[in-house]
Structure formats: structure tokens, C-alpha cells
Amino acid sequence: MAMNSSVKSWRDRIFEAVLFFFACIFVIFVLILIAADVFYIDKKAVITVLTSRFIAHALWMSIWTSFATTFISLFFAVPTGFALSRLRFPGRILADTIVDLPIVFPPLVVGLTLLVFFSQTAIGRWIQEDLGLEFVFQPKGIVLCQFVAAASFAIRSAKTAFDDVGWRYENVALTLGCTRWGSFWRVSLPLARNGIIAGGILTWARAFGLFGPLMIFVGSFRGRTEVLSTTIFLEQSVGNLEVALAIALLLIFVALVALTFIRLVGGSALVKL
Amino acid sequence: MIRIERISFHIGAFRLQNTSLEIATGEYFVLLGPPGSGKSIFLECLCGLKKIDSGKIYIDERDVTFLEPRARNIGYVPQDYALFPHLTVERNIAFGLRVRKYAHKDIVTRVTETADLLGIRHLLSRKINGLSGGETQQVALARAMVLQPKILLLDEPVCALDEVTRQEVCAQLFRIQRHLGVTIIHVSHNLEEAFSVADRAAILHDGILQQVGTLEELLRKPDSEFVARFMRCDNIFYGEVTGPGPPEAGLTPSRASPRQQRQTRVRVGDIELCVPGEHRGKVKLMIRPEDVLIRSNYEGRSKGENEIYVKPVRWRNYGGYIKVELDGPFNLVAHLTDAVYADLKVKQGTDLVAILRSENIHVLPA
């Protein structure tokens, strides 16, 4: 427990102890909650979870859709974040605010809004019926739902990362022979990497645990649009509380493995979280 | 040659106004000015990072006003050096060469040559984090120089360095400039820095170029009170012409023009001073503190032309000289050498005589 190697008075030590106390309280609280689940479930529930074909499918759906959402979000977040950071255009502040709106939407509203858009508007119906891109109650809809609910985290992080990089590096790159495009690829993007990865992690975490809007927009059809979070809801709604908690532990375990892996690969990215 | 014709630029409330300047090929030019005067913006306009509102910029008679920064063949070192922290020193220096797709062999050769020239070959494999201020500055310079630009723009290149390193780096910059023959525009707010490198200098204030010339001209013949004060002249007085004065001492009709022979009498407070040239009405006079001669007020010796009685009120040793603030008909500042100061035995209230030689007094334009 040390902030740095400077000489400390007893006041400094008390200050550090207070910080450490709050950190410990939160970490221990989370661990106690998980432990409560662990002690509640029984062997039968664990075996059910590990052997169920439907739960395996839900797990796979959760993993691939959340990663697909993360990649699509980053694909949008990098240019959008860079545009919001660098370009000056009328309505920029409004655009910047709108980017944050999905973060404050109640989750159910995202699902409801998507449902209304695709079923009640001409553009939505054109996309579904004429273009043949069906989202409502389809696996593709899971990714779209997660994207709407989570992409804001990626965009916000990317913008902040580009803001932190600043103009000077790009200006120097321009005098050294780069085009705007070149200075972006060679300088801005590598320097903003950690912030962008951090945004990706937040996006993935949000997408992986998303529940409410999925229930409304894509439902929870066994073997089709079911993901872990909706499985937990279905199991507990029919009284299988042990199984629901066992699935929750599986979800927590996968999240723990993924976050640890990304932390190891992403280096200091998580520091920005 | 760089020719800048009446360029203007604005950002927010700041305006760079109708600035014109010519800088010869191979010249070491220093742009001086207080913080916020627009020096950095001027450099950014020159290298194309800021699009000017009006005016023209020519490099060797080629109009570069609307060329992209990469097409201007200008090296630029920003104030914070802006080394790319995700690249090693070697990759930083080689950045421009890689962008311009030089062959690997050429890149290695050029990077090594430039690093050798600046004495930083041992740093090539280092990361940027962990370099000292001086090392960072040298790497930034190498990165700009490796492309062999015709013009180098240095934005406060040594302001973040300690005094000793600053002097060393300035000496090195001057040496390299002479060796390569490159034109350098060096932005600074520090006079010592300018004196150590500049062939010519200019002073910018509030986006307006105040004066261009050699440092000696800026020092002795400032065009305005601002320039005089920026060049650290504390002695500026307001006076009124009372009539013609005697011919300048030491000038005979065969050696001087009629105008040079003429002097003007100017009343400053309760006394009259003789100043060179012909003037009328109200005038502003300046004399550099190092040109103020001080002698003891010996009993029985009469006061001569342009001599005034003064008493020291405050003095402080600045290392190379002693700054003495004098009270008299008007407040005066003199810079004395240690020897003169010791000889005068300066004490609070000592009677002294300040000699303001006519040829050292400069009349500022009204």
C-alpha cells in the first residue's frame, strides 16, 4: 500500500489507509456477493449448466455477438471519435451530446425504440422487407441491439483518447511529409490506441451483459436468440433459481477470463478505464 | 530566400497583421517577442499548418502560399518538440524518410549521419520516455534536419533547457547552421539566446512586426518605445525641444554632414539635454543603461553638458554587471562593471554625476 516513494507523515499514511479502506470495501463486497451465489448453488445445477446444449448455445451466442458488437462499435468509434475531436463544424456540440444519449437511455427504451423503428416506420420496413435484412427476433438483432446500447462507450473513449493525443504530433507529421490520412494512421491512431482499447473493453462488457432491450427486440428463443443474460431471466422466472445462479457464475467467469486476457494483451489500456 | 508579403491571419481575437519580411538564404534569423505576441502562429503560417487569410509566401521565388506543409521543404521543431512517444529515437528521426519511402539503406545512412552531426548516435535505440530535455531537443532537431530542408523553423528550441545546456545548444545550432548553410528562423523571447545566434532579428508584438534589423540596430536605434523596453532599456524620458544645440563634439565640417553636425536642446524635467539631430515639439529620448557613465561628484568640479546630479537609491548585482537605480531630475538606471562600482564606493545617498553623452542618446520616433 504505497502511492509513491516520497517521505510520508502520519497524515499521509492515514490518507492512504482511507483510500485503501474504500477500495477494499468495494472489492470485498463484490466477492461476498459472488461467494453467496457459489454457496447457494448445488452440484446438480452446475451439471445442468455444463451439460445443457441450449446453455452452451446461449454462451456461444453471448460471446460471438458481444465481440462482433465490439468490433463494429470500434469500426464506427475511431472515425467518429476522431471527427468529434478534430473537426469543427456547426452542431458539433449537439452531435457530441447525441453520441452520449444511448448511455443514459433506460435499457428497455433501446429495445422498444428499435422495435418501433423496424415495425412502424417506412425506412425500418424497407430495410426488413425490401432489403431482406431482418433484425426483429433474429440473431442479427442481438448485435444491433448491443451496438445501439454500447457503441457510445467506444466513441466516447476514442474521442477522449484523440483529444489527449493533441494536434502537435499530427502537425509535425504533416511537415515531415505525411498527408492528413498518413498522420492519422502513423501518429494519431497508435497514440490513441490505449484509449480506444479501453473503450472496446467497456463496449464488450456492456454488450456481454445486456438483457432488457434484447428481451423486447429479439426475444429469447431457445437455440436461436437466447444469450446468457436472457437465459438467467428465463430460468429464474420458471423457478430454477440454482440454475439461474449457476449460469450467472458462468457469465462472471467468462467475463473475468476475457477482461484478464484483454488486460494482459492491451497493456496499460485498462488504466484509462 | 524567404519573402513574406503582407500576410494576415486571425484566430479568435488574435490577429497577425499585414506582416512582410525578407530572409536571405543561409541567414540565421531570430523572431523575438513576448509570450502571446504571435511568434508561434507566424511559424505555423510559414510552414503551412495555418492557412493565412491574405498575403503571399515565397521560398526561392516559388509561391508556396497554398502548398501543403509536406510540399514546402521546411523543417519544423515545435516548442514542446512533439517527439512521437510510440517510436524509438531512431524511428523518430527516420519518420520523414519512411513516409517519403526512401530505400532502407538510404534511411540508415541519413539517420546515422544526422545523429553523428548532433552527437546523439548513442541514443538511437532509446525510447523517447526517459530522454533528458537536451536529448529530446537534439532528437527533435535531428528529425527535422534529416530531410535536409532548405529552411528550419525552430519554435523556442531551447526554452525548456537549463542555462548551461541552452548556451551549448545555441552554439551548436549556430555551428550547424553555418556548416549546412540552411536558413533558420528561430523563435525566442530571450535576448541572450538571440545574441548568441542571430544574424538579424525582428520583434513581434500583438501580431504586428515592430522592427527588423541587426541586434545592434534593435539595441541602439529602436523604432518604438516597445522595442526599446523589450531590448531592456529602462531609460526612456519625455521631453520638449527648446532650440538648436551646439555641433556634435569631434565632428568637423569635412567629416560630417550638416545634419550630423546639428544637435537639439531638449528640456527633460528641470534640465536641458543636447541630443543628436534636428527635432521639434515633444520627443521621447532613450539611453541604454550601459551607456550611462557615472562619476563621483568631486568638490569644486563643475557640471558639464549633459551631466546631471544623481543619488543611488537601489543596486543589485546581476552577475555580469551591477544595476544601479539613480534618483535625480528624472529616474535613471545605469549598468556598472564591478570595477567601476567598487571605485565609486556606492552607498545610499552618495552624490554622483551621471553623464549622458549626446551620441548615446537616441530620439525615438514620435
Joined grid coordinates for residue A93: 456540440
Q: Which helix (H) or strand (E) element contains residue B336?
A: strand B332-336
Q: Count of domains in chain A?
A: 2
Kindly state whether residues A113 and A72 are assigned to the same domain.
Answer: yes
What does the alpha-carbon distance between residue B77 and residue A175 come to, in Å, rounded to a whole number? Answer: 10
pLDDT at residue B115 greater than cutoff 80? yes
Q: Distance between terminal CA atoms of chain A?
A: 21
Q: Give percent of chain B with pLDDT exceeding 90.
A: 64
Checking if the pLDDT of B24 tops 80, the result is yes
List, in order, residues 6 or more apart from A187 with CB less than 8 Å away.
A165, A169, A170, A173, A178, B84
* Structure confidence at residue B247 (pLDDT): 61
CB atoms within 10 A of CB A63: 16
Same domain, B288 and B312: yes
Residue B260 pLDDT greater than 60, yes or no: no
Tens of pLDDT, residue by residue over B50-99, are: 999 999 999 999 999 999 999 999 999 999 999 999 999 999 999 999 99
Q: Strand B208-213 and strand B271-276: pairing?
A: unpaired
- The pLDDT of residue B102 is above 90: yes
Question: Residues A19-32: what's their mean pLDDT?
Answer: 95
Subunit contact A187:B80, Cβ cutoff 8 A: no
When mean pLDDT is compared across A145-154, B59-68, B257-266, the lowest value belongs to B257-266
Last residue of a domain, one of B230, B263, B283: B230
The answer to whether B28 and B174 have CB atoms below 8 angstroms apart is yes
Residues A34 and A142 in one domain: no
Of A168, A182, A193, the CB nearest to B99: A182
Residue with more model confidence, B203 or B269: B203
Same domain, B44 and B188: yes
Residue in B287, B283, B243, B279 with CA at minimum distance from that of residue B259 = B279
* Closest Cα in chain B, distance from residue A181 (Å): 12
Residues of B in contact with A190 (CB under 8 A): 86
CA distance, residue A98 to nearest chain B CA (Å): 27
Residues A12 and A63 in one domain: no
Nearest-by-CA chain A residue for B142: A176
CATH number reported for the structural domain that contains residue B251 in this entry: 2.40.50.100
Tell me the residues of A at the B interface, defined by beta carbons under 8 Å apart.
168-169, 171-179, 182, 186-187, 190-191, 193
Residues A13 and A109 in one domain: no
pLDDT of residue B281: 87
- Note the pLDDT of residue B209: 94
**Same domain? B155 vs B275:** no
Return the beta strands (E) in chain A as ranges: none
Do B32 and B166 lie in one domain? The reply is yes
> Are residues B22 and B133 part of one domain?
yes
Stretch B349-357: mean pLDDT, rounded?
A: 88
CA distance B260 to chain A (A): 50
Return the H-helix or E-strand segment holding A62.
helix A53-86
* pLDDT tier at B253, thresholds 50, 70, 90: very low
Q: Which residues contact B75 (CB under 8 A, 6 or more apart)?
A: A175, B144, B145, B147, B149, B151, B152, B153
Nearest CA in chain A to B44: A171
Q: Which of B230, B254, B285 is the last residue of a domain?
A: B230
| pLDDT score at A271 | 43
CA–CA min distance B99, chain A (Å): 6
Residue A2 lies in a domain: no
Instruction: Say how far apart CA A114 and CA A136 lie, in whole Å.
Output: 8
Cβ contact (<8 Å) for B84 and A191?
yes
Half-sphere exposure of A121 (CA within 13 A, CB side): 9
Is the model's pLDDT at B301 over the cut of 70? Answer: no
The average pLDDT across B155-170 equals: 87
Task: Tell me the CATH number at A52.
Answer: 1.10.3720.10
Residue from the list A168, A169, A177 with its beta carbon closest to the beta carbon of B70:
A177
* Secondary-structure percent of chain B, ordered helix, strand, coil, rounded to 5: 30, 35, 35
Cell numbers 526561392 label which residue? Answer: B60
Indicate whether B194 and B48 sit together in one domain: yes
Distances, alpha carbon A213 to alpha carbons A55, A107, A230, A234, in Å: 20, 6, 10, 15
**Predicted pLDDT of residue A9:** 87
Residues in A touching B78 (Cβ below 8 Å) = 168, 171-172
Q: Are residues B106 and B147 in the same domain?
A: yes
Split at pLDDT 50, 70, 90, the class of B364 is confident
Residues of chain A contacting residue B99, judged by C-beta atoms under 8 Å apart: 173, 176-178, 182, 186
Tell me the CA distances in angstroms from B150 to A36, A89, A263, A266, B292, one per residue in order. Answer: 72, 36, 47, 42, 43
How far apart (Å, rounded) are the C-alpha atoms in residues B179 and B173? 10
Characterize the bridge pairing of strands B271-276 and B263-268: antiparallel
pLDDT digits (tens, 9 = 90+) for A86-122: 998 899 999 999 998 988 888 888 899 999 999 899 9
pLDDT in tens, A47-88: 888 888 888 999 999 999 999 999 999 999 999 999 999 998
Res. A269 pLDDT band, cuts 50 70 90: very low
What's the residue count for chain B? 366
- For cell 444469450, the residue is A227
Q: How many distinct structural domains can be found in chain B?
A: 2
Q: Indicate whether A130 pLDDT > 60.
A: yes
pLDDT in tens, A209-234: 898 899 889 888 887 888 988 989 88
Same domain, A144 and A16: no
Task: Inspect the interface and report whether the beta carbons of A178 and B70 lie closer than 8 Å.
Answer: yes
Q: How far is B69 from chain A (nearest CA, A)?
A: 5
Residues B221 and B333 in one domain: no
In the predicted model, is pLDDT for residue B288 greater than 80?
A: yes
User: How far B110 CA lies from chain A's nearest CA (Å)?
Assistant: 15
Please give, rounded to a whole number of angstroms, the shortest distance from the CA of B304 to a CA of chain A.
60
DSSP 8-state assignment for residue B127: B
Amino acid at B198: A
* Subunit contact B86:A175, Cβ cutoff 8 A: no
A188 to chain B: nearest residue by CA?
A: B84
Residues B251 and B202 placed together within one structural domain of the fold? no
What pLDDT does residue B257 have?
A: 53
DSSP B359: G
CB A201 within 8 A of CB A266: yes
Query: A39 pLDDT exceeds 60?
Result: yes
Question: Percent of chain A having pLDDT more than 90?
Answer: 51
Beta bridge partners of B243: B265
Strand order across the B322-327 sheet: B293-296, B352-355, B307-317, B322-327, B332-336
Kindly tell me if the per-residue pLDDT of B13 is higher than 70.
yes
Residues of B in contact with A179 (CB under 8 A): 68, 70
Q: Over 90: is that where the pLDDT of B127 sits? A: yes
pLDDT surpasses 90 at B48:
yes
Residue B123, pLDDT score: 95
Residues A242-256, mean pLDDT to the nearest whole number: 90
Provide the pLDDT for residue B110. 95
Q: Which range of residues forms the domain containing residue B76?
A: 2-230
Q: Residue B225 belongs to a domain with what CATH number? A: 3.40.50.300
Taking contacts as CB-CB distances below 8 angstroms, the residues of chain A near B82 are: 168-169, 171-172
Q: Residue A26: inside a domain, yes or no?
A: yes
Pairing of strands B2-11, B74-77: unpaired
pLDDT of residue B225: 93
Q: How confident is the model at residue B251 (pLDDT cuts 50, 70, 90)?
A: very low
Kindly report the backbone phi and psi dihedral angles of residue B335, in degrees, each rounded to the nearest multiple of 5, phi listed first: -105, 120
**Nearest CB neighbour to A169, from listed B69, B84, B96:** B84
Tell me the chain B residues in contact with residue A168 when contact means C-beta distances shorter than 8 Å. 78, 80, 82
Same domain, B240 and B212: no
Q: Which cell goes with B38? A: 504571435
The pairing of strands B352-355 and B74-77 is unpaired
Whether residue B189 sits in one domain with residue B64: yes
